[in-house]
Structure 1
C-alpha cells in the first residue's frame, strides 16, 4: 500500500516536471517568435521612414519637369482655344459676307427675272393677239380646225403652262422661271408662226378655188343674160359651188368612217393627240440625241426614274415626298441626284425631255408594277392626277402615251393597214416582240389589264385641294359609252371591261346612280351576249369568265364594291 502511494507520488512529480519543462520550452519558443516579429516590425518601420525620403530626393527634378510640361500644355491648350475662336470668328465673317453676296446676287437675279418675264408676257400677249387675228381671218374656219386642231390645242396648253410658270417664284434661283418662260415663249412663237403659215396657205387655196369657181360660173352663164341682173344668180351659184367644194372631203370622209372600230370624234382625238406627241418628241430630239449631253441626260433620267419607282402607299408623307420631287423637276428647280444637283432647264430641250420621259414612265408602270401588284395603281394614279392638274401639258402627254400603249383606251380597235406587216400591226396594238416572235396572248392580256387599271385609277383619284379633276368620272362615262357602241372583240373587250368596272364601278354608281345601273344592266344582258358570240367555242374564255363572275357578283350583292387598295380621301 505504502509502495503504491510512493509510486503514485513519484509519477505525479515526474509529470509535473515534464509539464514545467514543456512550458519553459513553449515560452522560449514564443519569445523567439516575438523577437523575430518585433525585429521584422522595426525593420519595416525603418524602411517606411527611410524610403519616402529617398524617393522625394530622387524625384525632385522629375516633379519639376512634370510641372513644367503641364504648364506648357495648359499654355498650348489656351493658345489653341484662342486660335479656334479666331478661326470661328473668321469663318462666321466669311459666311456673312458670302450670304450677303448671295442675297445681293439673288436680288439682282430677281430683278432681272422680273424684267425678262415682263418681256415674255408682252411678247406672249402680242403673239396670242396676232394668233387670234389670224384665226379670225381664216376662211372656212371649221374645216381648217379639223386639220390644225392639234397645233391650236398645243398653243392653248403652252399658254396655260406659261401662266403657271410666269407666276412662280424660286427663292433659291429666281432665273429659273424666267428661263422656263422664255423656253415656252419660243415654243409659242414657233407654233403661232406655223399656224399662221397654215392659215395663209388655207386662205390662198380657198381663194383660188373660189376664183376658179367664179370663172367657171361666168363662162357657163348665157350671153343673153343682162349684166345688171346676173349678179345675184352668179353669187348664188358661186356660193353653191363653194359649199360643194368644201363639203365633198367631209362627206367622203364620213362615208368612209369605220364606225365599227372607232367613233368619229374619238378617232379625231386619237389622231390629234398622237400627232401632238410625235411633234413633242421631235422638239426634244435635239436634246435626247446630242452626245455632249449624255451625262446630263443620264442624271435627268435618274431624277425621273428613281421617284417613279419609289411611289407606293407606304404613307401619305412618303407619297407626298415623291410628288414634290417630281413637281420640282417639272418646275425647273434643282433636284438632288446622288451627290449632284441637276436642273431640267440647264439646257434647252431638257425640260421637254423630262416631261415626256416622266409621262412615258408613268404609263409604263401599268405594265411593270400594276400588272404584278394591282393595288400599286392607286398611289401612281394619285401622283399622275396631281401633276396633271398643275402641268396640263404633262397630262396631255400621259393621255397620248396611254393611247399609244393601249389604243383600246380610246376606244379604238386599230385595223391592219394595207401593206402593213404583221409585226408592225401587232406592235401598234401594244404587243411585244422577242426574238422575232410575238408574245403569248395571256401575257399580252395581263399587261393590257394593268394599263387599263392604272388609267381607270387616274379617273377616280381625288385631287388633294378639292380642285376639278382634269380627267375624271365624266371621261369614264364617255369611255364606257363609246366602248359599248362598238362591237366587242374576242377576249380583249372582256378583259378591258372587267378591269375598268372593277376600279370605277363603285365611284360611277355614286356619281350617276340609276343611269349607271341602266348601263350596267345593258352590259349584263345585250352586250355580254355579244361578247359570248365573238368568243370561239372551246377557247376557254378566261377574261369572259372573269367578266361573267364579276357581273354576277355585282348583281347578287346589289352593287360594285370599292376597289381593293384605293387610297382613303385624306391619305395625304
Structure 2
C-alpha cells in the first residue's frame, strides 16, 4: 500500500506545537489505515496475541513484505520506502508505528484477559461458596422433611390401628347379628321344608293315583292289541296312534324323573290329568276302531269267499290298446254290470308275503302266482298285481281312512280354521324353498319343519290334540305335490326334497307312514300297483285309481302330462331309497335301498299290459337312472342279472304286448344297452354328497 501525501516546502521555523499536532494527526491517520489493514492480516494478529515472545519476530517486519501480497511500487528516487512525512518535514516509519500500536493492543488485551480471569476466579469462588451453602441448606431441609414424614407415618400407623380396632369391634357385632339371623333363618327354612315336604308328599300321592290310572288304561290298550285278530287293521291303528302314545309315555317318564328327584310342582297334576284324558281318548279310539275293523274284516272275509266264485272281467277288448294311456279313452265303459266300486277287497291273510331282495323272474313272461280264492283260473287279479304290493296298497288306504276319521272334527271345525291356515303357511314356505344350493340352506329348512312338528315354533301345533298329525299330513301332501310339479320339471330337485323327507322320517315315524300313504295315493305305481279295471268299475273310478286327474269340466288329463307327473313322483320315491342319513345319525335308514330292489323285482314279476307298457317303461327308466348306480354297487352280481333279464326277456315281451312300443320303450332299450355295454350306471344328476345335511 502506498500513501500519497502532499509534501510542503520546509519552513525555516519549526513550532513545537505544530510538530506535536502533526504527529498526532498522522498517528490517527496511520491507526485508521492500520485497522483496515489488520482485517487483511488476521493471521498476523493471532500470532501476536498467542505469545509475548513473538515480539522479537515482529521486529523483523521491516524487512518483509506485508501479508496482503501487495506489490511495492517501483522504486523511485523521490522518497524512502514506508516513510511518512509531516507538514513540518518530520518523517516517521510506518512499520514502527504499526508495531507500537500492536504492542499497545496486545497489552490492552492481556490486561483485559487478566481482569477477566481474575473476575472469573472470583465468580467461581463465590459460586463454590453458594453451592456449599445450598448443599448445607438442602441437607438440613431433607433432615427436616424426613423427620416430618416419620412423624406422619407414625401418626398414620396409630390412626390405622385405631380404625382396625373399631372395625374389629364392628365385625364382631355384625357376626353376632348374622349368627342370630342365620339361626332364625335356619329355623324358618326347617319349618318351610317340613311344610314343602308335606305338600310334595300329598302332591306325589295325587300324581301317583293318576299315573296308576294312566298305566291301567295303557294296559287295556295292550290287551286290546293282543286280543285283536285282524293284525293288518291293528297295524294301521297302531301306526296312526303310535306317535301320540309314544309322546304320552315320554311325558310320563318325565314325571317319573320329577318324582324321583322330588321336583314335582302343582302344575304337574294338571299335566298328568291331561295325560290320563288323552290315553283314555286313545283307548276309546282303539276299542271303536278295532270293533269296526273286526266287523269290516269279517265282511271282507265273507266277500272274499263269495268272490272266489266270481271271475274278474278284464278282457283285452275292454282296455285301451296301442301306445296310448287309459286317460286318452275316458268315454269307454266296462262290459260288465255295475257292482261295488270297491270290489278290490281281498283276504288280507292270504296275501301276506315277505320281501325277497334276490328274486329274479323266470325265463319266460311272469306267470300269475295264485288267484284271490285259489280258483286256478286264467286272468286273475294277481296276474297284474304283486301280492305284497296289494297288501301295501290296502294298508295305505286303511291308514288314510283312519286319519281322516280321527281328524274329521278338527278339519271341519270353524274354530280351528285360522290355526289350520297358520300351520299350512308355516309348512308351505320352507317346503317351497327347499333347494340343494348349500348345506346351511337345506339345514335351515329341516330345522324349521322339525321345530314346527315338535311344537317349538310358531304356531304351536301342540295346542290342539290333532294339530301335530294335521301338520304331518299336510307336510306329506305338500312334498308329494313337489314331486308332481317341481321334480317332474327339474328331476335333480328330487334329492334335496328326499333328504328332507328322510331326515324328518327319522324323527317322526308317523310322518313317514303318512308320506308313503299320500305318495301311493297319488301314484300307486310306486307300490308298484298296476290295477286292472274291475268288474262294474266306471272309467272315471278306474282312471282315478291309476292316479289320473280330472279337470273341473270332467276331462281326464292327457297322456304326456300324466306320464310327466308320474315320472316326477317315481323319481322322488327312488331318491328317498338312495338318500343317505344326515350326518350324526346312526339309526337304520327308514326306507333304504332294499325298497328300490323290491320295486324292480315286483315289476318284473307282474304281467305286462298293453295300456301300461309306456308307463311301465318310463317308471323303470326313472328308477334305474336314480338308483341304478347304488343298486349296482350294493348288489353287483344280482343287479347285473336283473338288467340282463330286463333287456333280453322282459323288454321284448313288453314291446310285443305294446305292438312295437313308442318313445319310452326305445329310451329304456338304449339305456339298458349302454349300461350293460359299459357295466356301469352313472350317478343321477343332482345327487347330493354324503353328510350334506
TM-score > 0.5 by shorter chain: yes
> Which of 417, 427, 431 pairs up with 1:304?
427
Q: CA deviation at 1:508?
A: 1.2
Partner of residue 449, structure 1: 567
Q: Do 2:434 and 2:496's aligned partners in 1 also have CA atoms closer than 8 Å?
A: yes
Q: CA deviation at 1:274?
A: 1.2
Partner of residue 480, structure 1: 600
Q: CA deviation at 1:550?
A: 1.2
Q: 1:367 to 1:201 in 2, by over 3 A?
A: closer
Q: CA deviation at 1:415?
A: 2.5
Partner of residue 511, structure 1: 634
TM-score normalised to structure 1 length: 0.63
What CA distance in whole angstroms lies between the structure 1 residues aligned with 2:563 and 2:295? 46
Q: CA deviation at 1:359?
A: 0.7
What CA distance in whole angstroms lies between the structure 2 residues aligned with 1:571 and 1:259? 42
Q: CA deviation at 1:150?
A: 2.3
Q: 1:178 to 1:486 in 2, by over 3 A?
A: farther
Q: 1:178 to 1:401 in 2, by over 3 A?
A: farther
Partner of residue 255, structure 1: 374
Q: How does 1:42-81 map to 2 (within 5 A)?
A: none
Partner of residue 358, structure 1: 475
Partner of residue 377, structure 1: 494
Q: 1:252 to 1:318 in 2, by over 3 A?
A: closer
Deviation by residue 1:23-59 (Cα, 9 ceiling, x = unmatched): xxxxxxxxxxxxxxxxxxxxxxxxxxxxxxxxxxxxx
Q: Do 2:213 and 2:276's aligned partners in 1 also have CA atoms closer than 8 Å?
A: no
TM-score normalised to structure 2 length: 0.53
What CA distance in whole angstroms lies between the structure 2 residues aligned with 1:167 and 1:192? 23
What CA distance in whole angstroms lies between the structure 1 residues aligned with 2:575 and 2:226? 40
Gaps of 5+ in 1: 1-113, 206-245, 336-341
What CA distance in whole angstroms lies between the structure 2 residues aligned with 1:560 and 1:121? 58
Pairing 1:194–2:288 present: yes
Deviation by residue 1:452-475 (Cα, 9 ceiling, x = unmatched): 000010111111113210111121
Q: How does 1:26-175 map to 2 (within 5 A)?
A: 125-137=215-227, 141=229, 144-146=230-232, 148-156=234-242, 158-160=244-246, 162=248
Q: 1:122 to 1:567 in 2, by over 3 A?
A: farther
Deviation by residue 1:543-568 (Cα, 9 ceiling, x = unmatched): 11111121122122211111110110
Partner of residue 557, structure 1: 678
What CA distance in whole angstroms lies between the structure 2 residues aligned with 1:269 and 1:279? 15
Larger CA Rg, structure 1 vs 2: 2
What CA distance in whole angstroms lies between the structure 2 residues aligned with 1:184 and 1:485? 46
Q: Do 2:239 and 2:513's aligned partners in 1 also have CA atoms closer than 8 Å?
A: no
Q: CA deviation at 1:570?
A: 2.4
Corresponding residue SS for 2:613 = coil
What CA distance in whole angstroms lies between the structure 1 residues aligned with 2:399 and 2:684? 33
CA RMSD of aligned residues (A): 3.7
Q: 1:161 to 1:410 in 2, by over 3 A?
A: farther
Q: Do 1:117 and 1:178's aligned partners in 2 also have CA atoms closer than 8 Å?
A: yes
> Which of 412, 415, 418 pairs up with 1:292?
415
Greater RCO, CA 8 A, separation 6+ = 2
> Which of 422, 441, 444 pairs up with 1:318?
441
What CA distance in whole angstroms lies between the structure 1 residues aligned with 2:541 and 2:295? 34
> Which of 581, 591, 599 pairs up with 1:463?
581
Corresponding residue SS for 2:473 = helix
Q: Do 1:177 and 1:332's aligned partners in 2 also have CA atoms closer than 8 Å?
A: no
Corresponding residue SS for 2:415 = helix
Deviation by residue 1:284-305 (Cα, 9 ceiling, x = unmatched): 2222222232222211110111
Q: 1:249 to 1:196 in 2, by over 3 A?
A: same
Deviation by residue 1:333-354 (Cα, 9 ceiling, x = unmatched): 232xxxxxx2112233222211
Q: Do 1:330 and 1:355's aligned partners in 2 also have CA atoms closer than 8 Å?
A: yes
More helix by share: 1
Partner of residue 14, structure 1: none
Q: CA deviation at 1:356?
A: 0.7
> Which of 555, 572, 590 pairs up with 1:437?
555
Q: 1:522 to 1:203 in 2, by over 3 A?
A: closer
Q: CA deviation at 1:134?
A: 3.9
Deviation by residue 1:197-238 (Cα, 9 ceiling, x = unmatched): 469989999xxxxxxxxxxxxxxxxxxxxxxxxxxxxxxxxx
Partner of residue 507, structure 2: 390
Q: CA deviation at 1:167?
A: 6.9
> Which of 462, 474, 488 pairs up with 1:345?
462
What CA distance in whole angstroms lies between the structure 1 residues aligned with 2:237 and 2:607? 32
Q: 1:514 to 1:122 in 2, by over 3 A?
A: farther
Partner of residue 264, structure 2: none
What CA distance in whole angstroms lies between the structure 1 residues aligned with 2:482 and 2:210? 37
What CA distance in whole angstroms lies between the structure 2 residues aligned with 1:150 and 1:116? 35
> Which of 379, 384, 398 pairs up with 1:275?
398
Pairing 1:410–2:527 present: yes
Partner of residue 104, structure 1: none
Partner of residue 329, structure 1: 452
Q: 1:200 to 1:493 in 2, by over 3 A?
A: closer
What CA distance in whole angstroms lies between the structure 1 residues aligned with 2:526 and 2:600? 10
Q: CA deviation at 1:282?
A: 2.2
Pairing 1:423–2:540 present: yes
Q: Do 2:436 and 2:496's aligned partners in 1 also have CA atoms closer than 8 Å?
A: yes
Pairing 1:566–2:674 present: no
What CA distance in whole angstroms lies between the structure 2 residues aligned with 1:463 and 1:392? 15
What CA distance in whole angstroms lies between the structure 2 residues aligned with 1:305 and 1:179? 35
Q: 1:196 to 1:516 in 2, by over 3 A?
A: same
Pairing 1:185–2:276 present: no
Q: 1:187 to 1:322 in 2, by over 3 A?
A: farther
Q: Do 1:131 and 1:196's aligned partners in 2 also have CA atoms closer than 8 Å?
A: no
Q: 1:168 to 1:440 in 2, by over 3 A?
A: farther
Q: 1:518 to 1:311 in 2, by over 3 A?
A: same
Q: CA deviation at 1:362?
A: 0.8
